[in-house]
Amino acid sequence: MASADKPILSTSSLSLTLGETRILNGVDLAIAQNQKVGVIGPNGSGKTTLFNCLSGFHYPSGGQIFFKDRDITKLSPPKRSKLGLGRLFQNFGIFKEMTVLENIVVALESKLPPSFFPWSEQEKKNRARAMDYLAEVNLESKAKDKAGSLSGGQLRLLEISRLLAFGADFYLLDEPTAGVSPKMKGEIEKALRKLQDLNATVLIIEHDINFIQRLCDRVVVLDVGKVVLDGTPDSVRQDPRLQEVYFGNETAEWKS
């Protein structure tokens, strides 16, 4: 990151200890506005825990988190969300008993200010906008279906559509392609590019380096709770230390 770029999110000596286990160990990050940053590392390296700290689901044992020049270290998840932090979870965080359309309407209603329109008229407007967001990820034909009836890949697309509707400034995406078919991975990649089109800042955990290379302009490598590499996708991929981090670990898809 160029020194002239003011970070939208940064951490200083971020650490987390659970019981006797140190999970994060002095993580320093500075992420500029509009950057697309991939976070990689072997299982147990602290990736999801870092996301939990950034989004407020874990409070760190030490260090600070700043977002838009504000110390958010002790803010609750809802307060961080209101500031513009949106998150896609590794385990689907949608309302499965609601319809696909209703899931998007809920996201819209969480951001819209009070309206002078009659309730029925406002609902029509919200539903029309929700259909537009579903069309962005090719789910409009599923609008009336229960969200719980969708496939794993379709649930991911629905979550991305919700994030689009929510309109955050900074997105935390935890393994968006985990457990989906290669074809659906392509659909998810297309949907994530919609977030890029919004000039939002994105921090994404992903095991597939090819996927990261296509979507991100920067890669951060975590190991045992520390940042061990930080650079462009090409420079990180060619660094011999990367192989040391992943030696004997078969969870990452390192493909030439």
Banded pLDDT at 180 (limits 50, 70, 90): confident
User: Which of the listed residues 152, 167, 182 is the one where a domain comes to its end?
Assistant: 167
Characterise 54 by phi-psi region: left (phi > 0), alpha (psi -120 to 50), beta (else). alpha
The arithmetic mean of pLDDT across residues 39-48, rounded, is 93
Structure tokens at 132: 């537009």
What is the structure's pLDDT at 157?
94
Helical ranges in the chain per DSSP H: 47-55, 77-83, 100-111, 119-136, 152-166, 182-197, 209-215, 233-238, 240-246
**Residue 174 shares a structural domain with residue 252:** yes
Q: Is residue 136, in this structure, part of any structural domain at all?
A: yes
133 inside domain: yes
pLDDT reported for residue 115: 55
Mean pLDDT, range 194-212, rounded to an integer: 87
Is residue 57 in some structural domain?
Answer: yes
- Mean pLDDT, range 175-202, rounded to an integer: 88
User: What is Dmax (Cα atoms) for the chain?
Assistant: 62
Look over the chain and give the mean of its residue pLDDT values, rounded to a whole number.
88
Residue 205 lies in a domain: yes
Among left, alpha and beta (phi > 0; psi -120 to 50; other), residue 98 is beta
Q: At 66, which amino acid appears?
A: F
- Does pLDDT of 51 surpass 70? yes
List Cβ neighbours of 125 (8 Å cut-off, separation of 6 or more). Answer: 117
Query: Domain range spanning residue 49?
Result: 1-84+169-256
Question: Is 229 among the domain residues?
Answer: yes
Instruction: Answer whether residue 89 is part of any domain.
Output: no
Question: What pLDDT is attached to residue 106?
Answer: 87
Residue 111 lies in a domain: yes
**In terms of domains, do 109 and 189 share one?**
no
45: Cβ contacts below 8 Å, ≥ 6 apart: 222, 223, 224, 225, 245
The count of domains in the chain is 2
**Residue 198 — very low, low, confident or very high, per pLDDT cuts 50/70/90?**
confident
Q: What does residue 118 show for φ and ψ, rounded to 5 degrees?
A: -55, 150
Least confident among 1-5, 63-67, 234-238:
1-5
Residue 57 has pLDDT above 90, yes or no: yes
User: Domain holding 248: CATH number?
Assistant: 3.40.50.300
Q: Of the residues 115, 135, 167, which one is the last residue of a structural domain?
A: 167
What is the pTM assigned to this prediction? Answer: 0.85
pLDDT for position 250: 47
